[in-house]
Amino acid sequence: MKKLIFLGILLCLNVTAYAQNIPFNDINFKNALLNHARVTIDTNGDNQISFEEAENTTFLRIDNANISDLSEIKHFINLGYLSVSINNLTSIDISQNLKLRELHISQNKLTSIDVSKHLLLKHLNIGYNQLTSLDVTQNEKLEQLSASSNQLTSLDVTENKELENIYVANNQLVSLDLSTHTKLVAVNASRNMLTAIDVSQSAGLTNLTININELSSLDITKNPELQYLQLSGNDLTSLDLTQNKKLEILYAFSNEFTELDVSMNTELTLLRFPNNKLTSIDLSQNKKLTSLWAFNNKFTAIDISNNIALEDASLGNQPLATLDLSKNVNLTSLRVVRSQLALLDARNCNLTTIDLDDNPNLNIAYLTGQKFQTTPRLGISFKNCPEIKFICVDEEYIAPVQNLFNIPGYTSCDVSSSCDQNYYVISGKVTFDLDNDGCDSSDEGFSDLKFALSGGSIGFREVFPSNSGVYTTIVNAGDYFMFPIFENPAYFNIDPAPSFPPTPIRFPLDGLNVIKDFCVTPNGIHNDLEVVIIPTGVGPRPGFDTAYTIIYKNKGTSTQSGSVTLDYMQDILSLVSANPNTTSITTNQLSWGFSDLKPLESREITIVLNINKPTDTPAVNDGDILSYTATVTGTTDETPDDNIVLLNQTVRNSYDPNDKICLEGDTIEPKDLGKYLHYMIRFENKGTADAVNITVKDDIDTTKLDIKSFIPLKASHSYTTIVNNKKEVEFVFNDINLPFDDANNDGYILFKIKTKSDLKEGDVINNKAAIYFDFNLPIITEVEAVTIKKKVVEEPVFTDYFTLSPNPTTGIMSLTPVNTNISVQHISIHDIAGRIVGFFSGDTRDFNVSYLYANTYFMKLHSDKGVLSTTFIKIN
């Protein structure tokens, strides 16, 4: 009996001992507790976790343990700290862990979590899950909330007055109310959809990150402790930083800033504001600045001479003309790509790397005193800088830099250790102030003028602004005089106005770069429209489609409405398409209406026509002429000559893709001397790689053409223009990257120039162009010859082709062919006042005119031979 009792006691003890160990659903959870916890959980070393051991645990950190089931966490009722981040949890029940002060459960797969009973919770980290909602309204002691990278659409933290740090980036929040939080130190709400955020009560805020939202305004004037600010990717147009004197780091990428005042932020060490609209910035007070990114703004100049501590600068993608870094002795990295940079002075910097790629106007680079890296590659890059003429580097870098330009055909760059060859830059921007409220960054650039530059060693040069109004030119030492010249000087005022006697620009006395910006305003009301028609694509071939662009422009100062018409040879040309659609189509004419054409605005009409084949009637053959007349009509025009333009094209069976043509044709009449001719130079990349840069040179015959009247009109791609020595025109297509596939390898430049009025009949205007593709030898176009001669028009005689009888007639008449070598398109009858009183198709031969009153009438036959006319008498 005693033995049986003893055995029973032993059995009960064993059962009790077994019952004290926790059974786990997820072996990874148990293994983590035994082997990877930061503290010892298995205190008795039996490789089991008992209920008592669980209850005794107050700190538990088992991150990255491949745990998918945490059900047994309910037994750890005394936990104050729990971290189970980077696991595979899809749910968690912490309803028994009410002593938690810190909970870290980021980078799992949770879709929900309940912390409403955790009143002691101070730190909650649940970022990188799949939460769509979160209720923290009961967690009044919460000091830090990390809930970034979830799917939250709303979050109420108004009850969490103790919050110091809140991180809710990468959610879908449309609002976040922080207006009553006085203890905030750090906020990160980037990548949401916030339209506003109020941190005015957070005087101790040091870090604010709100990138990529929809903010249009931000008030941080009540945050004097702010040191770190990120607000990139919003819609901010202004920012007051005057009260943030402790600010050290500012990221302001991709907003709508036109100005940024950092003059009070003397502690700034990092300033980055690319992709905005700034034209200037004062950095003279930011002497601790070590990193500056300002690319893709609208700077034509930037002064960083006071920023001696600067180590890293990126300033490209803008019309920056010159850059003087000679005082930035600590600069180690510089990137200025895709800008209008013409001259760089970086003497005595500490550069190890410099990237100057894609600067089409770069002529001069002073780079002595550097420590460029040479391995694994040279820390200097000048790719796609076709105008580079002179580079000054220390002796040890001459050979490796020269190797950068060992490209076939590229021999113009001088690399030297002597910086005695000083060059200088004149640059600026012309802005159009249409509303007369002063030129500012919201106004458009003005390009309808040129600058005449004389003096120094250049003699005479004309510089044309780009479409954005920016101009740049390189000169040597000397005194220079510069004058603006308008096509119509009475239309516009310019500020500053030319002075008499003029004030010279003096190099080197005036520094390396002189910036002369101009503001143009309308001078009264002037109505002046212009129209041009240009062939596009392949030239006209029998049986094929041919394309044209009509460009009409308001050159005046008043808004215009009106119409554009195109007269064409409808008998041999069929309309395929028009964009925009025509407003009317009549015989031989297409019409378009337009309205609200602003001053200096231009619009385009594209049309495609199909040309008759040699087998059609009427036929079109090689050598035939296609004639077009484009007309623009608006309010009474001050210069009506350019309201109408002619285009005469010779039909060919094949074309040279690189050519120069006069759009008016190969003859002009003496009565048109002194008027504009329109020249088009076409080029095509027939190579096997993209053409990065293309230059077109045209040596104008100034004995027959008036160079003073030269005006570039239109091009297929962005370009700059300069005229040297009063005759040498250069069109520069830098960074054009013209493809070599047939669908996209074409380009053109169009300009107008007046003939000399003293030419005589029989004179010939010869002209050709040279087209340079990258560094290859030029392609010389065929000579385009325009002869001055009167057109002899042989009027067809009606009786050579038809008879009309009876004449006089009481009503019925017949048209009888005499010669069948004629094609009639249509027939019209006119009264003695010229009004059309009858209209018939070209094949009509019998006419009933009994409806006419007794009188004399004219019959006109419109044919391929011209217009044949005869008269007939209608009697009663």
Nearest residue to 335 (alpha-carbon basis) of 630, 245, 323: 323
Residues 712, 719: Cα–Cα separation, whole Å: 10
Which pLDDT value is given to residue 417?
82
Which pLDDT value is given to residue 19?
45
Which pLDDT value is given to residue 56?
96
pLDDT-derived band at 793 (thresholds 50, 70, 90) equals low
Residues 90, 100: Cα–Cα separation, whole Å: 20
424-522 maps to which CATH number? 2.60.40.1120
Query: What is the residue-averaged pLDDT of the chain?
Result: 89
Task: Please state, in angstroms and as integers, the Cα–Cα distance from residue 466 to each residue in 348, 448, 450, following that order.
Answer: 33, 9, 10
DSSP string of 810-861, one letter each residue:
SSEEEEEES-----EEEEEEE-TTS-EEEEEETT--EEE-TTSPSEEEEEEE
pLDDT (average), residues 849-858: 85
Q: For 280-324, what is each residue's pLDDT tens digit?
A: 999 999 999 999 999 999 998 899 999 999 999 999 998 888 888
Indicate if the pLDDT at residue 2 is higher than 50.
Answer: no
pLDDT (average), residues 347-352: 89
Output Rg (C-alpha) for the chain, integer angstroms: 40
Window from 659-673, 785-799, 860-874 with minimum mean pLDDT: 785-799
pLDDT (average), residues 39-43: 92
Which pLDDT value is given to residue 15?
40
Residues 667, 761: Cα–Cα separation, whole Å: 10
Indicate if the pLDDT at residue 804 is higher than 80.
Answer: yes
Residue 872 identity (one-letter amino acid): F
pLDDT (average), residues 786-798: 79
Which pLDDT value is given to residue 794?
65
pLDDT (average), residues 161-165: 97
Window from 412-426, 467-481, 487-501 with minimum mean pLDDT: 412-426
Q: For 315-340, what is each residue's pLDDT tens digit?
A: 999 888 888 898 999 999 999 999 88
Strand order in the sheet with 667-668: 667-668, 784-788, 764-767
Q: Which of 70-84, 446-460, 830-844 has the highest mean pLDDT?
A: 70-84
pLDDT (average), residues 800-815: 91
CB 231 within 8 A of CB 215: yes
pLDDT (average), residues 641-647: 90
**Judging by beta carbons within 10 Å of its beta carbon (0-12, 13-18, 19+), is residue 646 exposed, middle or buried?**
middle
Which pLDDT value is given to residue 52?
96
DSSP letter (8 states) at residue 17: H
Which pLDDT value is given to residue 412?
65
Write down the domain spans for the chain: 424-522, 798-874
pLDDT (average), residues 461-468: 88
pLDDT (average), residues 714-738: 87
In residues, how long is the chain?
876
Q: What is the Cα 332 distance to its own chain's centre? A: 30
Query: In the chain, what percentage of residues exceed pLDDT 90?
Result: 54
Indicate if the pLDDT at residue 787 is higher than 80.
Answer: yes
pLDDT-derived band at 147 (thresholds 50, 70, 90) equals very high
Which pLDDT value is given to residue 347?
86
Residues 434, 558: Cα–Cα separation, whole Å: 10
Indicate if the pLDDT at residue 519 is higher than 80.
Answer: yes
pLDDT-derived band at 183 (thresholds 50, 70, 90) equals very high
Question: Do 424-522 and 798-874 fold alike per CATH?
Answer: yes
Q: On the CB side of 264, how many CA atoms lie within 13 Å of its CA?
A: 12
Which pLDDT value is given to residue 792?
64
Indicate if the pLDDT at residue 7 is higher than 50.
Answer: no
Indicate if the pLDDT at residue 630 is higher than 90.
Answer: yes
**Judging by beta carbons within 10 Å of its beta carbon (0-12, 13-18, 19+), is residue 499 exposed, middle or buried?**
exposed
CB 549 within 8 A of CB 461: no
CB 529 within 8 A of CB 599: no
Which pLDDT value is given to residue 414?
80
pLDDT (average), residues 180-193: 97
Indicate if the pLDDT at residue 9 is higher than 60.
Answer: no
Which pLDDT value is given to residue 8?
45
**Judging by beta carbons within 10 Å of its beta carbon (0-12, 13-18, 19+), is residue 420 exposed, middle or buried?**
exposed
Contacts of 639 (CB under 8 A, 6+ apart): 488, 528, 555
Indicate if the pLDDT at residue 241 is higher than 90.
Answer: yes
pLDDT-derived band at 665 (thresholds 50, 70, 90) equals confident
Q: Does domain 798-874 have CATH number 2.60.40.1930?
A: yes
pLDDT-derived band at 407 (thresholds 50, 70, 90) equals low
